[in-house]
Structure formats: structure tokens, C-alpha cells
Amino acid sequence: MTLDIEYVRAQFPAFEVPALKGQAFFENAGGSYTSRFVIERLERFYRERKVQPYAPYEASRLGGEEMDEARARLAAMLGVANDELSFGPSTTQNTYVLAQAFRQWMRPGEAIVVTNQDHEANTGPWRRLAEAGIEVREWKIDPETGHLDPAALEDLLDESVRLVCFPHCSNVVGEVNPVTEITVMAHAAGAFVCCDGVSYAPHGFPNVGELGPDIYLFSSYKTYGPHQGIMVIRRELGEQLPNQGHYFNAGTLYKRFTPAGPDHAQVAACAGMADYIDALAGHHGISGDAAARAAGVHDLMRGHEVALLQPLLDYLSSKNAVRLLGPTAAERRAPTVAVELQEAAEPVAARLAAHGIMAGGGDFYAVRALQAMGVDADKGVLRLSFVHYTSEAEIAQLIGALDREL
């Protein structure tokens, strides 16, 4: 079964906007277009339900129920319990709060493992635990390929490690890391695992329950939704870590690591992401429970993306003036493709804009990863990232533009 790209694009109002016609979007790793289901819910909330939720009058009841619906449906798709999923303002704000909880929970002399492959959001906050006497061990990437080798993690693990932080997929290397294998290793050493799924989740929701990490994070503004950070914290860990919210909310797992009041409208609109996955499942004849529907849609998206990605990787690998970061085989990576050029990346992105290509250049907050691979972070990389709604014609448009400008 293949993805019906016409149907997919009809679910995104951006493709109907005259000013965006002919513009091929290749900065999806920065933030995706929003599905119509999410936009419709957001508008309805602001028009009809924009009152304090969970009160006994109708508008409030509907608003509160929609917020609960969002959490319940997304949790079911991710294969976790309802209260193991919470919404924060962004993934970065979520990791800073979590790091504060670990700072209070850990003892001096205990250790954490971080990588130099991560976006700063899943490494910087954790590294600051050194200020509290926590030992920070760096799991380093291969300087040539950017690969994170699980064998190298083995040497960093012992009984003093409490937490291993790593990305499901880096936002510049693109390689999909073996989350379950890494989690099994960390758990065997007695450590918990925090996996940054921000660069992976746009390519299909994973079954976090089966995958295994204790913490799984992603950002819904990159998964066709509103601007929220979605955080799964498994119960065993979440109940041990000190509560970061108001004392009277400590007994509710999904409130323990989100100290501020939530953005009601955006949380409610997150249910639109579940609507979208279900609409894709229905259209393509995928049935089963929520997790099964999400898995089927994940595979559909992935199939489409891999087929479009390989020609782009082949093209970029054939260019002498270009250094492609990460794997050259599409099956091993997400369609988030960063390339080092002989010149600074941002002016090249600006030249591509003249060909109707929307892409960016810079460090993408993955400064440590770029430096580890010998890329001058000031020069940056050109990043070409796409998702399942990208068409074959847009890939051809991109390759044509690159041919002129590289």
C-alpha cells in the first residue's frame, strides 16, 4: 500500500495558500505545516470554548473534555497510559524542568550520560547537573560519520549512572538510533533513559511503550499540530522524581513536570493530530486500536519518505563540493539531510529561495554535533528536511535548484 499524496496534501490548508504555491517546503525539521483538523479545533476553541476549563458550565466542560481527549488519544497512539503523557510549552522547557527534578533527586558522585549528537535541548540542561556535583559522561559520535555507536556506550555505563540521554534521531545527522537496544543496555546497568524524539516523531508516531524509554519527548509544532512540547514519562520514573508543580498537584502524574498552567487551546487542538492520523488510517484502510492505526500510518509515511529520500541522497553524495552528514542509505535515516558546503550555508539557502525552495542554513542548535564532525558552526550546514506530504515533484524541484546553485 502506498500513501495517497493527493489526499494527504488536501488535509493541509498551507498547500492552498496562493502565496505558498510553487514554494517547495524543505525546512520541516524546524516546524511542519499544520493539519486542518488542528486548525479547525484551535479556531473552535478560541471562538466557542475559550473559558477556564473543567467548570460545570457547558463551554467549560467541552473545553476540558477536549483537553482530556487530546491526552488520552495521543497516549493511546503512543502505547502509554493516559497520565504518562503531559503537555509543556516546548521540548526545551520540558528538559529544563526535568533536569531540575533530576538535580534534586540525584546525589553528588552519581553520573549521567549525554551525547554530542543531540540538539542542545537534550544535552545542555543535563550537562548543567555538573554544577551539583553530578558526573557528566559524554557519549561521543564518530567524527567522520556522526554515528553514535552503542558499543561505545557500554564503556560509559556502571552502577553510578542514573540516566542516559540521547536522540531517537539527530536533527543534523539524521541517523535513526536503535532506541530499544540502547534502552536495554541502560536498564541493565540500572539507569533510566531520556530519548529526544523531536526529529523522529514527524515521520510517524512510535509506540513508546514498546520502544522502551522512560522519557520520550517531541514537539507537536513539528508533528502537524500546535506549538507544544509533548512529554511521555513512564510511571515508575515519574513517581520517583520530585514533583516540580504545585504541591497539591503532586498526586497527578501528568501535572508533576509541567509547573505552569497549560495553554488550554493548544492542548485541546492537539487532539487534531490524532484526528489526522485516524483520517489517514481510515482513508488507507488501516484498522485496529489507536496504537495499531498509528503504527500503520507510521509505516505508510516512512515508505513514502524513504522512496523520495534515496534519489536526493544519491544526488548529494555524487557532488564533490558537498559533504553529506549521516548515512547515505535512506532506510537508516530520517529525511532530515544536512550538508556541509565549501561556503557558508545561509547565503546558499537565500539563493535557493529564488528557485522556490524554502530551506535554511545554520547550526540548528546542534552546535556540539557539528563541531564534533569538524564543521565550522558559523559557516553552518544547509539543511533540507521533508516529511510525508512532500511530493516527488518537489524533490525534483529541489534537485534542479541545487544543481544551479551548488
Ligand X SMILES: Cc1ncc(COP(=O)(O)O)c(C=O)c1O
Q: Which is nearer to ligand X, 232 or 286 (CB)?
A: 232
Query: By the 8 A CB rule, do 387 and 335 touch?
Result: yes
Q: How far is the CB of 187 from ligand X (least distance, A)?
A: 23
Query: By the 8 A CB rule, do 222 and 169 touch?
Result: no
For residue 321, the SS3 value is coil
Query: By the 8 A CB rule, do 385 and 29 touch?
Result: yes
Q: Could you give the count of Cα atoms lying within 13 Å of 154 in the half-sphere of its Cβ?
A: 5
Q: Which is nearer to ligand X, 170 or 397 (CB)?
A: 170
Q: How far is the CB of 381 from ligand X (least distance, A)?
A: 13
Q: How far is the CB of 364 from ligand X (least distance, A)?
A: 7
Q: Which is nearer to ligand X, 86 or 92 (CB)?
A: 92
In 3D, which of 197, 147, 143 has the Cα closest to residue 169?
A: 197
Which cell numbers in the block locate residue 90? 516546548
Q: How far apart are CA 174 and CA 326, in angstroms?
A: 6
Q: How far is the CB of 321 from ligand X (least distance, A)?
A: 26
In 3D, which of 146, 179, 142, 147 has the Cα closest to residue 164?
A: 179
Q: Which stretches of 79-119 are DSSP H helices?
A: 91-105
Q: Cα-atom radius of gyration of the chain, to the nearest Å?
A: 21
Q: How far is the CB of 376 from ligand X (least distance, A)?
A: 20
Q: How far is the CB of 336 from ligand X (least distance, A)?
A: 8
Q: How far apart are CA 288 and CA 312, in angstroms?
A: 34
Which cell numbers in the block locate residue 235? 510511571
Q: Which is nearer to ligand X, 49 or 302 (CB)?
A: 302
Other beta carbons within 10 angstroms of residue 19's beta carbon come to 7
Q: Which is nearer to ligand X, 53 or 361 (CB)?
A: 361
Match 539563493 to its residue by C-alpha cell: 351
Q: Which is nearer to ligand X, 3 or 216 (CB)?
A: 216
Q: How far is the CB of 227 from ligand X (least distance, A)?
A: 8
Q: Which is nearer to ligand X, 126 or 286 (CB)?
A: 126
What DSSP line would sit under 51-107, residue for residue?
A: S-TTSSSHHHHHHHHHHHHHHHHHHHHHTS-GGGEEEES-HHHHHHHHHHHHHHHS-
Closest-by-Cβ residue to ligand X is 92
Q: How far is the CB of 374 from ligand X (least distance, A)?
A: 21
Q: How far is the CB of 279 from ligand X (least distance, A)?
A: 25
Q: Which is nearer to ligand X, 216 or 276 (CB)?
A: 216
Q: Could you give the count of Cα atoms lying within 13 Å of 109 in the half-sphere of its Cβ?
A: 2
Specify the amino acid at residue 85.
Answer: L
Q: Which is nearer to ligand X, 79 or 197 (CB)?
A: 197
In 3D, which of 94, 62, 70 has the Cα closest to residue 277?
A: 70
Q: How far is the CB of 338 from ligand X (least distance, A)?
A: 11
β-pair type (192-196, 323-324): unpaired
What DSSP line would sit under 154-208, residue for residue?
A: HTT-STTEEEEEEESB-TTT-BBP-HHHHHHHHHHTT-EEEEE-TTTGGG----H
Q: Which is nearer to ligand X, 35 or 92 (CB)?
A: 92
Q: Which residues bind ligand X (CB under 6 A)?
A: 90-92, 119, 121-122, 167, 171, 196, 198-199, 219, 229
